[in-house]
Structure 1
């Protein structure tokens, strides 16, 4: 999951260690958008949206 795609209130989870990250503020400007490349990962694996 790339930070450009995340919305306020969503939670990312690492399926390996259980770390959870909650989106407090969305990426709202071009300087953030250009800095977001690749997947957000933890323990060497991409993080998933918590359902």
Structure 2
């Protein structure tokens, strides 16, 4: 069974990536295949 989770926050720098990484680690430690993705907007370099 495939499921999707979204980690959202109310602002920048509120710990979304930390929470997502922690959840991925916990699931991976339990034998679940996980993949963490960032949005395309997050990957752009802004000057």
Same fold (TM over 0.5): no
TM-score for the superposition, normalised by structure 2: 0.28
Q: Which has the higher helix share?
A: 2
Q: Which has the higher strand share?
A: 1
Q: Which structure's relative contact order is higher, taking Cα pairs within 8 Å and 6+ residues apart?
A: 1
Which structure has the bigger radius of gyration? 2
TM-score for the superposition, normalised by structure 1: 0.27
